[in-house]
């Protein structure tokens, strides 16, 4: 997330998902034989969808919205793996790559014009950056799962698999697709609609800044930035059509042995139409809150303050991991304990042996007086004692 | 004859350097460099002349040294696939150590003479095939080390030097008892013969002999809890000595355990295998935990060495041929990588005169080359695939897993921790806000620094992408050992 935007695009679109979801998909034989493994993966996936989507809902940083969106979408893929949808999981990975790379590069283009990722400093960029806006909108619609864009097809199939396997998963996934549309269109409205709020101030001291130009007068990026956006938006529109006639499924399932194949359920108009309605409802809600401000976002935040706080603090997960576990428990308490043991007990014993040696010799030093009489007396006493002992041991 | 020349060439160069007239003391480093380069060339020649496919010893130099009638103590040098890579590691790191010492100004003649004598002692340890000769070289190494730390060191240098010597000598006392007990039973000090004998009538139970030998070597490795001399010695030793200490001196311990403990007493090694693996895994974890708390860069690397050398012991404890090969490879990899780490840290110290992590930071901007070196060496230490450390670690894990699952799981966790402490240290030293204190400190700039860093880094990559270069040599030698264990 903190990396350069093209790197974020690559990580979120391809490498990170490839590492996790692909690895899990490769292990389908384990999922195939173990219901426990499937259930665990599916529930973790379902939890990830909700956690990612709800956190994305309250971020003010455009890139963070996209980053938490990726987490949520990875949850969809994991959920699919947990309900026998190996091919669907890979399919969603495939379509997601197009629109998520597009969205990240779009956020980079916006940053290039405004010197910020903070959406509170943006607004109104629709007219100033038309290419960025339209491509970003295509990516957003695709991610929200609007027919006939790529995201619609892959997400629809995940919902379908979930419906057939376990209704609870379907409900979670459907609720989250409302949230997906909501947080993405929140970002769109905040960034591209309304009035421009001036962008980020340029810090001349910051040696790492590459910003050139004037954030007060944003402009469309050059073709080196807009061309990739256009190319990727073609994929964000059309990549889903590959599933026509289950072509993509056959492609993936060639790698799965016949006995492990679970026939994908057939396309269902009911699921498709209802999920589209859910997504449209999300868009409408975003429009009402963030564009028309029928219900101001500030009001919602105040009313549901505890929930807003939990979401803004990311379910306190960062606090738990960074502060509690890494800093306090691991570094301060445990490593500190081991280190003190190492210093005081282990090395203390070593130094203690040295100390004992020098102490005892400084005591024994006193009998080395150099007086012959004393040595002679000691000798005689020694002989006497030995003689006594010998007599006691072997009486004559 | 070749090995005799190899072993004594550094010492000869050291003597020449020592005898230079005072007004020509500045040439001492050139003589040391010449000597170490010649030794390196000779060792490389041996490396390529060595017939890798077969087990057994080659380049034998053998003569009767002390003949008492009932005992014959030999002057017996030879190498096999286990020791030859360590010999090359030693000559290589000796050269790097000489290069990195080029800016030494305090008593250069005595300094380079000590460094070269150290090299001879270590080469002797790796080539001696008579147990008493081995012991002689083992003890000889203490003398230059004591001088190097206590004269050219920093901080509590006398304390650290004395601690180093006392630890080793205490271990050696046990070792000598074991050597004598073995020799009285088998009537020979010949390691090659001892490595094929069985012992029936020993003055001490064989278990004790094994343990005594093990203690002698384990101090050097070092294992927890016999390790506290290492961070002290490292933090107070001059850079080149840290390089030699971490790079080759620790390997004397691992080499000794494989060559003596396991080969001579395979039955006892098998009995104690689980304990060795447990101590190894414990060292990996314990070392890692303590590393997290270090604030001095050199102490940090020292404790990470304790952790990484624990893997060597874990591999030995599994006793299978894969695990033993992994242990041998891990020794080489750790020698190069930690050597490189100390070289780069030494260069950095020359510029900043501090090793406190808290005072460093943002060096990437002021010292881009040093920072690059640190990041590279750090990644290698973490065990990044395609670098040498990865091959050693993965081979140990693969070889030891079936026999000691739990120990391997602990060690894998330790490997994860190593990513944590190394990356965290890099982040604090190399990245972060720039400290203007170091604006004028300067970057790596002398040719000898470049030579040492690039040479070591190249080998780290070479051993990471082409392990067979060494594996083909180690394998047959280890086969002999593991066959004896399973017999």
Cα–Cα distances in angstroms (integers) from residue B30 to residues A4, A227, B98, B240, B322, in the given order: 48, 60, 9, 16, 42
- Phi and psi, residue B361, nearest 5°: 140, 145
CA B80 to chain CA centroid, nearest Å: 17
Which of A7-11, A64-68, B12-16 has the lowest average pLDDT?
A7-11
Q: Kind and range of the H or E element at B79? A: strand B72-79
Question: Mean pLDDT for chain B?
Answer: 93
CB-CB under 8 Å, A339 with B290:
yes
Question: Which positions in chain A touch B424 (Cβ < 8 Å)?
Answer: none
Map out the domains of chain B as residue ranges.
2-486
Residue A233: pLDDT band with limits 50, 70, 90 = very high
Asked if B402 is an interface residue toward chain A (Cβ–Cβ < 8 A), one would say no
Testing the interface with A: which of B161, B225, B231, B302 to mutate, by most A Cβ within 10 A? B225
Amino acid A1: pLDDT: 61
Sort B1 into a burial class: Cβ within 10 Å, 0-12 / 13-18 / 19+.
Answer: exposed
Measure the CA–CA gap between B301 and B298, rounded to whole angstroms: 5
Q: Are A9 and A101 in contact (CB under 8 A)?
A: yes
* Residue B365 pLDDT greater than 90, yes or no: no
Question: Which positions in chain B touch A347 (Cβ < 8 Å)?
Answer: 228
Amino acid B328: pLDDT: 96
Give the chain A residue whose CA is nearest to the CA of B160. A351
Q: Are B310 and B223 in contact (CB under 8 A)?
A: yes
Which of A207-221, B191-205, B287-301 has the lowest average pLDDT?
A207-221
A331 → closest Cβ in B163, B227, B292? B292
Classify residue A70 as left (phi > 0), alpha (psi -120 to 50) or beta. alpha
Q: Which residues pair with B130 in a beta bridge?
A: B190
Residue A214: pLDDT band with limits 50, 70, 90 = confident
Q: Are B67 and B107 in contact (CB under 8 A)?
A: no
What are the pLDDT digits (tens) for B264-305? 999 999 999 999 999 999 999 999 999 999 999 999 999 999
* Residue A242 pLDDT greater than 80, yes or no: yes
Task: Kindly report the nearest CA distance between residue A341 and chain B, in angstroms.
Answer: 10
Task: Kindly report the nearest CA distance between residue B483 and chain A, in angstroms.
Answer: 37
Region A246-275: what's the mean pLDDT? Answer: 82
Q: Are B56 and B35 in contact (CB under 8 A)?
A: no
Amino acid B340: pLDDT: 96
Q: Are A14 and A95 in contact (CB under 8 A)?
A: no
A346 → closest Cβ in B166, B225, B289? B225
Q: For chain A, where are the E strands, in sequence order?
A: none
Which of A157-171, A180-194, A239-253, B378-392 has the lowest average pLDDT?
A239-253
Measure the CA–CA gap between A98 and A238, rounded to whole angstroms: 10
- Phi and psi, residue B73, nearest 5°: -100, 125
Q: How long, in residues, is chain B? A: 487
Cα–Cα distances in angstroms (integers) from residue B411 to residues A141, A227, B214, B309, in the given order: 48, 49, 21, 11
Asked if B290 is an interface residue toward chain A (Cβ–Cβ < 8 A), one would say yes
A-contacting residues of B 157-196, CB under 8 Å?
163, 166-167
Rg of chain B taking only CA atoms, in angstroms = 21
Region B227-243: what's the mean pLDDT? Answer: 95
Residue A396: pLDDT band with limits 50, 70, 90 = low
Amino acid B453: pLDDT: 94
State the greatest distance between any 2 C-alpha atoms of chain B, in Å, as a whole number. 72
CB-CB under 8 Å, A335 with B290:
yes
Task: Kindly report the nearest CA distance between residue B318 and chain A, in angstroms.
Answer: 27
Cα–Cα distances in angstroms (integers) from residue B280 to residues B58, B225, B308, in the given order: 31, 11, 9
What share of residues in chain B are helix, strand, coil (percent, to 5)?
75, 5, 20
* Residue A259 pLDDT greater than 90, yes or no: no
Region A350-372: what's the mean pLDDT? Answer: 88
Q: Are B210 and B272 in contact (CB under 8 A)?
A: yes
CB-CB under 8 Å, A338 with B289:
yes
Measure the CA–CA gap between B204 and B202, rounded to whole angstroms: 5
Q: Kind and range of the H or E element at B456? A: helix B447-465
pLDDT, greater one: A13 or B209: B209
Nearest residue to B182 via CA among B222, B215, B220, B209? B209
B137, two tokens: 């070289």
Measure the CA–CA gap between B131 and B143, rounded to whole angstroms: 19
Amino acid A255: pLDDT: 82
Question: Which positions in chain B touch A342 (Cβ < 8 Å)?
Answer: 228, 286, 290
pLDDT, greater one: B443 or A342: A342
Residue A364: pLDDT band with limits 50, 70, 90 = confident
Task: Kindly report the nearest CA distance between residue B286 and chain A, in angstroms.
Answer: 7
A346 → closest Cβ in B228, B293, B434? B228
Q: Which residues pair with B190 in a beta bridge?
A: B130
Q: Which residues contact A395 (CB under 8 A, 6 or more apart)?
A: none
A46, two tokens: 């379902």
Question: Which positions in chain A touch B428 (Cβ < 8 Å)?
Answer: none
* Percent residues over pLDDT 90 in chain A: 58
CB-CB under 8 Å, B365 with A338:
no
What are the pLDDT digits (tens) for B134-149? 999 999 999 999 999 9
Residue B397: pLDDT band with limits 50, 70, 90 = very high
Cα–Cα distances in angstroms (integers) from residue A394 to residues A389, A390, B77, B320, in the given order: 9, 6, 56, 58
């Amino acid at each position: 997330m903190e990396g350069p935007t093209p790197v974020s695009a690559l990580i979120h679109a391809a490498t990170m998902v490839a590492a996790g979801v692909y690895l899990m998909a490769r292990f389908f034989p384990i999922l195939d034989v173990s219901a426990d493994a499937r259930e665990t993966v599916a529930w973790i996936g379902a939890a990830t969808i909700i956690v990612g989507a709800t956190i994305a809902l309250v971020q003010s940083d455009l890139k963070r919205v996209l980053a938490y969106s990726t987490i949520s979408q990875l949850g969809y893929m994991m959920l699919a793996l947990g309900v026998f949808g190996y091919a669907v999981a890979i399919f969603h990975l495939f379509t997601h790559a197009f629109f998520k790379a597009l969205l990240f590069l779009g956020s980079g283009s916006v940053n290039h014009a405004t010197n910020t990722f903070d959406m509170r400093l943006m607004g109104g960029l629709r007219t100033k950056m038309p290419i960025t806006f339209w491509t970003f909108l295509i990516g957003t619609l695709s991610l929200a799962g609007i027919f006939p864009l790529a995201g619609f097809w892959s997400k629809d199939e995940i919902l379908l698999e979930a419906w057939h396997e376990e209704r609870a998963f379907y409900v979670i996934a459907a609720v989250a697709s409302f949230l997906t549309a909501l947080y993405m269109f929140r970002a769109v409205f905040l960034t591209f609609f309304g009035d421009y709020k001036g962008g980020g101030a340029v810090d001349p001291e910051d040696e790492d800044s590459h910003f050139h130009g004037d954030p007060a007068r944003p402009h469309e990026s050059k073709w080196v930035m807009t061309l990739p956006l256009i190319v990727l938006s073609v994929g964000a529109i059309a990549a889903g059509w590959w599933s026509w006639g289950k072509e993509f499924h056959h492609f993936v399932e060639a790698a799965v042995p016949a006995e492990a194949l679970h026939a994908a359920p057939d396309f269902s108009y009911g699921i498709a139409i209802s999920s589209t309605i859910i997504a449209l409802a999300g868009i409408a809600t975003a429009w009402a809150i963030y564009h028309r401000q029928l219900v101001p976002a500030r009001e919602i935040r105040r009313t549901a303050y505890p929930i807003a706080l939990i979401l803004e603090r990311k379910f306190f997960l960062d606090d738990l991991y960074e502060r509690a576990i890494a800093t306090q428990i691991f570094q301060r308490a445990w490593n500190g304990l081991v280190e003190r043991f190492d210093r005081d007990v282990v090395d203390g014993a070593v130094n203690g042996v040295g100390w004992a040696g020098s102490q005892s010799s400084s005591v024994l030093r006193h009998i080395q007086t150099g007086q012959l009489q004393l040595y002679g007396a000691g000798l005689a006493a020694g002989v006497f004692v030995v003689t006594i002992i010998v007599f006691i041991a072997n009486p004559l | 004859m070749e090995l005799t020349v190899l072993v004594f060439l550094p010492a000869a160069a050291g003597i020449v350097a020592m005898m230079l007239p005072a007004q020509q003391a500045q040439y001492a480093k050139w003589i040391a460099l010449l000597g170490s380069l010649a030794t390196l060339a000779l060792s490389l020649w041996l490396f390529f002349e060595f017939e890798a496919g077969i087990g057994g010893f080659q380049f034998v130099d053998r003569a009767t040294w002390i003949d008492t009638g009932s005992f014959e103590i030999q002057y017996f040098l030879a190498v096999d696939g286990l020791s030859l890579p360590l010999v090359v590691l030693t000559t290589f790191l000796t050269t790097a150590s000489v290069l990195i010492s080029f800016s030494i100004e305090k008593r250069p003649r005595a300094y380079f003479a000590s460094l070269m004598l150290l090299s001879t002692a270590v080469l002797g340890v790796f080539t001696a095939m008579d147990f008493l000769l081995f012991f002689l070289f083992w003890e000889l190494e203490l003398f230059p080390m004591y001088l190097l730390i206590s004269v050219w060191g920093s901080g509590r240098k006398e304390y650290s030097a004395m601690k180093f010597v006392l630890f080793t000598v205490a271990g050696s006392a046990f070792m000598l008892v074991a050597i004598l007990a073995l020799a009285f039973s088998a009537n020979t000090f010949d390691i090659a013969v001892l490595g094929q004998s069985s012992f029936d009538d020993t003055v001490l139970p064989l278990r004790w002999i094994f343990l005594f030998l093990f203690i002698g070597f384990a101090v050097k490795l070092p294992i927890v809890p016999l390790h506290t001399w290492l961070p002290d010695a490292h933090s107070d030793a001059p850079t080149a000595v840290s390089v030699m200490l971490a790079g080759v001196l620790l390997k004397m311990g691992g080499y000794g355990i494989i060559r003596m403990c396991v080969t001579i007493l395979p039955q006892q090694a098998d009995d104690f295998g689980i304990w060795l693996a447990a101590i190894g895994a414990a060292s990996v974890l314990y070392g890692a935990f303590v590393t997290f708390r270090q604030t001095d860069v050199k102490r940090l690397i020292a404790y990470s060495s304790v952790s990484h050398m624990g893997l060597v012991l874990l591999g030995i404890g599994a006793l299978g041929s894969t695990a033993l090969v992994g242990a041998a490879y891990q020794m080489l990899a750790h020698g190069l990588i930690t050597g490189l780490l100390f070289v780069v840290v030494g260069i950095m110290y020359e510029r900043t005169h501090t090793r406190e992590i808290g005072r460093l930071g943002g060096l990437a901007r002021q010292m881009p080359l040093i920072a690059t070196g640190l990041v590279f060496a750090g990644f290698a230490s973490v065990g990044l695939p395609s670098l040498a450390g990865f091959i050693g670690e993965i081979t140990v894990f693969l070889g030891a897993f079936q026999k000691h699952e739990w120990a391997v799981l602990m060690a894998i966790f330790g490997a994860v921790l190593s990513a944590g402490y190394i990356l965290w240290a890099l982040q604090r030293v190399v990245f972060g806000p720039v400290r203007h204190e170091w604006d004028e400190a300067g970057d790596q700039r002398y040719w000898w620094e470049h030579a040492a860093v690039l040479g070591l880094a190249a080998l780290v990559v070479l051993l990471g992408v082409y392990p067979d270069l060494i594996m083909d040599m180690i394998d047959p030698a280890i086969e002999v050992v593991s066959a004896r264990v399973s017999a």
